[in-house]
């Protein structure tokens, strides 16, 4: 898969991954929860604005406002951590300063404070000192809470130090010792133990890879991860509230135990009868697991109970889009607009559904009516992407290429490679390849991956393409895009079993990324070659759900779904 600096998220894609709570606006919500709901709504609004900003300097303040409004939310913290890791030093320092300032206000938020400690340590001695004081405040919570709170804070800070040093063995052993000696182990202990095991398996020594020792190392850590999951199952009976159920559900999803997550949420709907939050938890769990058809049925049920609920309508529209039912999404958007006439979200639903229904003029009118400037700009760009012909786009790139003032270097060849891939233009691929080779650009793993992947797709110079892809993967063994490219190269060269193993690693590495749809489509194609038709069908359905992925050919995916369904039905085209 070609790797690009693209993050195309929309408001309705957040419901399935926001870990800040399952609050809805259904009529039976207790009034005492109004304040948390309002804060989470503010946090979500700031997060949406942040995701629509391409400029990191403009994105950062919105992310910090989102985190401050809901310091327990994981998504803003994850994006801030990614910015800290990938952005240049000035922005890195601003991220660390902002997160630490918020952490100082919320000593009860252990994850937030641990992240602040990790960031501040590498910035300056002054910030490191502030971070230590923040960690001490977490530990001093025993004055207002219990000694157990302080103990957990201390464990967390020590654990973070071990993780930063990648001392996986000591971290895991420490956690197992705490779990075995605790009368009632905290959920956080299992969470940490599972995360340590998962990270250790993913980062198993790269230098041992070609000696064949890396896979055995992975197996050891995956077994430990499974042991932690089994311990968590034994403690499910002690869960007393829906928040704890939500936490453990999230843990099961991250540990790649989807059936456990669904079982737990199903039990929660029975245990907390009449609590709509339990139903919403199950719905968002189905979305996170990409079980979109089941999610749509549940969303229709919830909307039937609360037909005027904006929250229910939002989730129904989201599920319809994920299932490729654009007419249903269009109708839902119009109903939402009746309930909330000033809703930019409703008009976004309507505009997107019109775009996918090829009603571009109507979509343009809806976009103009959107009051939120960030949403309007994003959708205008999305509309152009779906209306501008590739030949027109290539012509613009040619003009830019000839412009003597153009200073973009090899950046111009990335979109050209995309056009070559989409149009099966081997000559354009060869032109990009030769120019990038002359410029020395193929020494960069990203460029090597992009050229190698497109060459594999077009069946051009396959031995050389394979060398480029191996070079990229050697440089970054855990890069999901590179793993997918290698999987597709193996597929193109007939090594289907190896391709299947490689694409599974790619899915695991990219499971939270918006561009996973392309990888899922590749996995479906590989599964078909191996005779796994049922699995291929599910993978295609999951790929269809990533409707905002700019590289995914949705009509092609729908065609594959219909073909596999026909084959599974014995050649009969059943609905």
Helix (H, G, I), strand (E, B) or coil at 304: helix
- In the prediction, which pLDDT does 184 show? 65
Residue 307: φ, ψ to 5°:
-65, -15
- In the prediction, which pLDDT does 170 show? 84
Here the tokens at position 381 are 């760009």
Cα 260 from Cα 252, distance rounded (Å):
6
pLDDT tens-digit series, residues 122-181: 788 888 778 777 766 765 654 445 556 656 666 777 787 788 888 888 888 878 877 776
- In the prediction, which pLDDT does 24 show? 37
- The whole-chain average pLDDT of the chain stands at 84
Task: Give the range among 18-32, 33-47, 86-100 with minimum mean pLDDT.
Answer: 18-32
Query: Does a structural domain hold residue 448?
Result: yes
Q: What is the DSSP string of 546-569?
A: -TT-TT--HHHHHHHHHHHHHHHT
More confident site: 297 or 575 = 297
Range of the domain at 465: 426-568
346-362 mean pLDDT? 91
Number of domains in the chain: 1
246-261 mean pLDDT? 93
- Give the ranges where 182-291 is alpha helix by DSSP (H): 187-202, 214-234, 242-254, 258-271, 276-288
DSSP classification of residue 87: S
Query: Does a structural domain hold residue 467?
Result: yes
- Nearest partner of 511 among 141, 8, 1, 17, judged by Cα: 17
Per-residue H/E/C for 322-340:
HCCCHHHHHHHHHHHHHHC
Query: Does a structural domain hold residue 481?
Result: yes
406-425 mean pLDDT? 86
The percentage of the chain sitting over the pLDDT mark of 90, rounded to a whole number, equals 44
Torsional sign, CA 293, 296, 298, 300: negative
Largest Cα–Cα distance in the chain?
72
308-316 mean pLDDT? 92
What confidence category does residue 98 fall into, taking pLDDT thresholds of 50, 70 and 90? very high
524-538 mean pLDDT? 96
Residues in the chain: 575
- Nearest partner of 2 among 390, 383, 400, 552, judged by Cα: 552
The answer to whether 547 and 321 are in contact (CB under 8 A) is yes
Return the CATH number at 548.
1.25.40.10
The percentage of the chain sitting over the pLDDT mark of 70, rounded to a whole number, equals 86
- In the prediction, which pLDDT does 30 show? 33
Query: Does a structural domain hold residue 501?
Result: yes
Helix (H, G, I), strand (E, B) or coil at 124: coil
pLDDT tens-digit series, residues 469-498: 999 998 888 899 999 999 999 999 999 999
More confident site: 273 or 315 = 315
Is a pLDDT exceeding 90 seen at residue 448? yes
Here the tokens at position 204 are 């198993």
CB atoms within 10 A of CB 478: 14
Here the tokens at position 530 are 């191996």
- In the prediction, which pLDDT does 56 show? 86
- In the prediction, which pLDDT does 346 show? 87
pTM value is 0.69
Q: Residue-wise over 249-277: b if at least 16 C-beta within 10 A, else e?
A: bbbbbbbebbebbbebbeebbeebeebbb
The most confident of the ranges 104-108, 208-212, 326-330 is 326-330
- In the prediction, which pLDDT does 278 show? 92
- In the prediction, which pLDDT does 326 show? 92
- In the prediction, which pLDDT does 21 show? 39
- In the prediction, which pLDDT does 237 show? 81
Here the tokens at position 274 are 């009449």
Could you tell me which residues come within 8 angstroms of residue 48 by beta carbon, excluding any fewer than 6 positions away? Answer: 10, 11, 14, 374
Cα 180 from Cα 71, distance rounded (Å):
30
The answer to whether 281 and 246 are in contact (CB under 8 A) is yes
What confidence category does residue 182 fall into, taking pLDDT thresholds of 50, 70 and 90? low
310-323 mean pLDDT? 92
Query: Does a structural domain hold residue 471?
Result: yes
- In the prediction, which pLDDT does 18 show? 44
Here the tokens at position 365 are 């009118």
The answer to whether 281 and 249 are in contact (CB under 8 A) is yes
- In the prediction, which pLDDT does 22 show? 37
Query: Does a structural domain hold residue 11?
Result: no
What confidence category does residue 335 fall into, taking pLDDT thresholds of 50, 70 and 90? very high
Query: Does a structural domain hold residue 455?
Result: yes
Cα 561 from Cα 539, distance rounded (Å):
9
Cα 58 from Cα 67, distance rounded (Å):
15
Query: Does a structural domain hold residue 52?
Result: no
């Amino acid at each position: 898969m070609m790797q690009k600096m693209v993050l195309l998220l929309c408001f309705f894609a957040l419901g399935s991954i926001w870990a800040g709570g399952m609050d809805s606006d259904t009529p039976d919500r207790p009034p005492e929860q109004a304040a948390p709901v309002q804060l989470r709504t503010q946090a979500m609004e700031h997060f949406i604005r942040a995701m629509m900003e391409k400029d990191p300097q403009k994105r950062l303040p919105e992310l910090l406002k989102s985190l401050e409004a809901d310091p327990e939310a994981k998504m803003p913290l994850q994006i801030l951590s990614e910015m800290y890791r990938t952005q240049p030093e000035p922005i890195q320092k601003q991220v660390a300063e902002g997160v630490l300032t918020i952490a100082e206000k919320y000593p009860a938020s252990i994850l937030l404070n641990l992240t602040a400690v990790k960031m501040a340590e590498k910035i300056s001695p002054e910030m490191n000192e502030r971070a230590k004081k923040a960690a001490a405040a977490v530990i001093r919570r025993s004055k207002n809470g219990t000694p157990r709170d302080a103990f957990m804070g201390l464990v967390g800070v020590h654990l973070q130090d071990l993780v930063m040093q990648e001392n996986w063995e000591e971290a895991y052993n420490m956690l197992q010792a705490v779990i075995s000696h605790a009368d009632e182990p905290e959920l956080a202990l299992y969470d940490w133990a599972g995360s340590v095991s998962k990270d250790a398996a993913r980062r198993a020594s790269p230098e041992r890879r070609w000696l064949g020792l890396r896979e055995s190392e992975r197996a050891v850590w995956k077994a430990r991860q499974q042991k932690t999951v089994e311990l968590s199952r034994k403690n499910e009976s002690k869960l007393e509230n829906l928040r704890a159920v939500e936490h453990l559900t999230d843990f099961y999803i991250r540990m790649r135990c989807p059936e456990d997550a669904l079982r737990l949420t199903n039990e929660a709907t029975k245990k907390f009868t009449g609590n709509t939050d339990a139903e919403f938890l199950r719905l968002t769990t189905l979305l996170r697991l990409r079980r979109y058809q089941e999610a749509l049925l549940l969303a229709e049920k919830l909307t039937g109970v609360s037909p005027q609920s904006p929250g229910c309508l939002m989730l129904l529209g989201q599920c319809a889009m994920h299932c490729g039912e654009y007419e249903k999404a269009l109708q839902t958007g119009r109903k939402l607009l009746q309930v909330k006439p000033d809703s930019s979200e409703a008009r976004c639903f309507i505009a997107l559904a019109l775009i996918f229904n090829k009603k571009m003029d109507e979509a343009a009118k809806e976009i103009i009516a959107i009051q939120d400037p960030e949403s309007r700009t994003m959708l205008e760009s999305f509309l152009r992407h779906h209306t501008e012909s590739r030949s027109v786009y290539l012509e613009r790139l040619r003009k830019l290429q000839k412009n003597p003032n153009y200073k973009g270097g090899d950046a111009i060849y990335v979109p050209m490679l995309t056009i070559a891939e989409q149009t099966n233009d081997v000559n354009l691929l060869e032109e990009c390849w030769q120019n990038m080779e002359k410029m020395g650009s193929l020494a960069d793993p990203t460029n090597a991956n992009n050229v190698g992947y497109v060459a594999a797709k077009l069946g051009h110079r396959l031995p050389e393409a394979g060398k480029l892809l191996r070079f990229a993967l050697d440089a970054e063994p855990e890069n999901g895009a590179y793993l997918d490219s290698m999987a597709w190269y193996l597929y193109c060269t007939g090594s289907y079993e190896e391709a299947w193993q490689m694409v599974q690693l790619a899915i695991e590495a990219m499971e939270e990324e918006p561009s996973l749809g392309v990888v899922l489509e590749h996995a479906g194609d590989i599964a078909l070659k191996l005779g796994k038709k049922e699995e291929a069908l599910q993978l295609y359905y999951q790929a269809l759900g990533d409707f905002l992925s700019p590289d995914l050919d949705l009509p092609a995916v729908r065609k594959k779904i219909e073909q596999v369904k026909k084959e599974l039905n014995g050649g009969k085209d059943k609905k």
